[in-house]
Amino acid sequence: MLPRLLLVLSILINISYSISFYLTNRETKCLSDYLAEGELLIGEFSIDPIRREGIDDGVITTVSDPTEETVYDKNVDNGKFAFTSPENGEYVFCFKNEDDLEKTVKFNTHSGVKAKDYSDIVKKENLKPLEAKLKRLEDLARETLERYHEVRSMEDDIYNDNRGTTSNAFWFGILLTIILVGMAFWQMFHLKSFFQKKKMF
């Protein structure tokens, strides 16, 4: 039972985000990922067919942070990038095909615990392979819990905003109703006095 559990856990730990898609001629596609402040992100990509020197313009790969500042910008067929996120937010990865040919992009990212290299920790703490996997699993559980608390906090903020908006809309509706009823009474009295002056009523 324990070996099966460890096998399943090791498979789960090694899961990464990998995607493959087509870029038609002159097309741009963008993907995004939310990163917490100080989180490590490692990405790699490959583009097929490769660029022919002097004939093709290739595919431009850019990565931008939440402030839309470019972190990575290269025109290569295969590449890797790594950076630590300076702030919380959505990081955008764009692939722009400058050629008239259709291209296939394979894109792979690892972030947080999945991007962390545990070989130094194993050497420094003299851990056995099983202990290293458990350490990684513990870090993954801690990261998941932190993400849960972040999402929960964001959910509370959204709930409070919605509640405030609902309250404002309710009181605006009440005020608008009072104004409309007041205008209706004013029109009634105005028309009544108008007809009385003209002796039509």
- Reported pTM: 0.61
| pLDDT at residue 194, rounded to an integer | 83
Q: Residue 112's pLDDT is what?
A: 77
pLDDT of residue 200: 65
Using an 8 Å Cβ cutoff, are 96 and 28 in contact?
yes
Which residues, at least 6 apart from 201, have a Cβ–Cβ distance to it below 8 Å? 192, 195
Interacting residues of 195 by C-beta distance below 8 A, sequence separation 6+: 201
The dihedral through the CA atoms of 61, 66, 70, 71 has a sign that is negative
Give the position of tokens 């460890």: 6
Q: What is the pLDDT of residue 201?
A: 55
State the Cα–Cα distance between residues 63 and 77, nearest whole angstrom.
15
Residue pLDDT tens, the chain, 201 long: 444 544 444 444 444 557 888 988 889 999 988 888 888 888 999 988 877 776 667 889 999 989 888 888 988 888 898 888 888 889 999 999 988 888 899 999 888 777 777 777 777 777 777 887 888 888 888 888 888 898 899 899 999 999 989 989 999 999 999 999 999 999 998 888 888 887 765
Q: Look at residue 120 and give its three-state secondary structure.
A: helix
Give first-to-last CA distance, the chain, whole Å: 95
With H, G, I as helix, E, B as strand and everything else as coil, classify residue 104: strand
Alpha helix locations (H) across 105-128? 119-125
- pLDDT score of 114: 77
DSSP 8-state assignment for residue 114: G
pLDDT at 8: 43
Q: Tell me the C-alpha distance between 50 and 46, whole Å.
A: 9
